[in-house]
Structure 1
């Protein structure tokens, strides 16, 4: 049995996302990770015989490699805490979508025709994880509306991308999030290492903490590869 880590490292000052302000400037968001109290600070509480650290984190939940619940897009949708574990451990398929440039859309020609995708996690390997942390990462390829509809028709359970967003950032209707999450097809963004899964048979794991009233949550995404 082999496991492939599909998650970016979650750390202080990590790459995050940006929002455009009314004046055209951008606000950058990231995670803050630091000791709430350190080993050295705690040592005296245990008469010098033991020491512990408790770590404090502050971040928006759409950070790092993360899962979107239906509530992220739809107010009446299920939140992260309401998703069953069995919905987040799925047979996986990687679509090799490498070769597209920034702001290019993926067409239905790239989708597998013969495979049964019902109930599976379909992960799109754009090869964009190589740009993680760079300015180029913010201009990325995305799945077209025709691909979105094909995925819905195929009754997939989850869609993942190795980019910042499954949607074209220039399209305010956000069709991937609107259509997929309305159909209870979950979305994982900022995956990595999908190159290692091209042509492989695997199970995909996308389990977050059980956080109530939460739209999205970072996950430790990984694949269990059949051997």
Structure 2
């Protein structure tokens, strides 16, 4: 049995969105990780015979490798806690869309007509994970509205990308989030290592915590290779 990790490290001050404010400044999405209770602080509680560390993490839920629920786009949509496990453990296919430039879209002609997509996780490998942590990661290629409609018509269950966002930052109506989540098709962003799945049959795992009233959440995305 072989597994391939498709997640970025979740760490202190990690890369994330930069949201522009009205005054021209930016709010950075990131994680702040620190000890809540250190080994030294806990020792007296166990008469010096044992020690434990308790870690505190403060982060926005759209950080790292993460999944969006319909609630992320729609106030009445299902939240993270309402996602069933069998909806995020899916047979997967990876589509090679490497070689694109920033702000370049891809259309459905990159997907073979005979490729079965129904009820699957479709993962697009732009190769953009190599820019993780660099400024260039914030300017990325994306899937077109035509391709979004095509994926919906083909009955996919989840769409994943190895970019910061499945939508272009220049498209304020955010068509991928708007249309995919409306159709209960989950979105996973900031994947990595997708090239390791080429030529392989695999099952994709994107299981979040069972968190109530949460719109998106970091996951440990990985693939189980099926021989």
Bin of the TM-score, shorter chain as denominator length: over 0.9
Corresponding residue number in structure 1 for 2:200: 200
Corresponding residue number in structure 1 for 2:32: 32
Determine whether 1:145 maps to 2:148.
no
Corresponding residue number in structure 1 for 2:190: 190
Determine whether 1:95 maps to 2:95.
yes
Root-mean-square deviation (CA, aligned residues, Å) is 0.7
Corresponding residue number in structure 1 for 2:124: 124
Distance 1:48 1:164 in 2: 46
Corresponding residue number in structure 2 for 1:21: 21
Structure 2 spans left out of the alignment, 5+ residues:
none
Please state whether the residue corresponding to 1:123 is helix, strand or coil.
strand
Please state whether the residue corresponding to 1:136 is helix, strand or coil.
helix
Deviates further, 16-25 or 121-130 = 16-25
Q: How far off its partner does 1:28 sit?
A: 1.5
Distance 2:101 2:139 in 1: 8
Q: How far off its partner does 1:198 sit?
A: 1.6
Please state whether the residue corresponding to 1:178 is helix, strand or coil.
helix
Distance 2:111 2:22 in 1: 38
Please state whether the residue corresponding to 2:224 is helix, strand or coil.
strand
Please state whether the residue corresponding to 2:178 is helix, strand or coil.
helix
Distance 1:198 1:97 in 2: 12
Please state whether the residue corresponding to 1:203 is helix, strand or coil.
strand
TM (norm. structure 1) is 0.99
Q: How far off its partner does 1:26 sit?
A: 2.0
Misfit runs of 4+, over 6 Å: none
Please state whether the residue corresponding to 2:42 is helix, strand or coil.
helix
Q: How far off its partner does 1:104 sit?
A: 0.6
Distance 1:226 1:139 in 2: 34
Distance 1:131 1:198 in 2: 20
CA offsets 1:1-23 (integer angstroms, 9 cap, x no match) = 21000000001010011101113
Q: Does the aligned pair in 2 maintain the 1:161–1:189 contact within 8 Å? A: yes
CA offsets 1:168-196 (integer angstroms, 9 cap, x no match) = 11000000000000000000000000010
Q: Does the aligned pair in 2 maintain the 1:95–1:112 contact within 8 Å? A: no
Distance 2:95 2:187 in 1: 15
Distance 1:150 1:10 in 2: 33
Distance 1:108 1:117 in 2: 12
Please state whether the residue corresponding to 1:199 is helix, strand or coil.
coil
Structure 1 spans left out of the alignment, 5+ residues:
none
CA offsets 1:15-62 (integer angstroms, 9 cap, x no match) = 011101113332222100111001111011101100001110000000
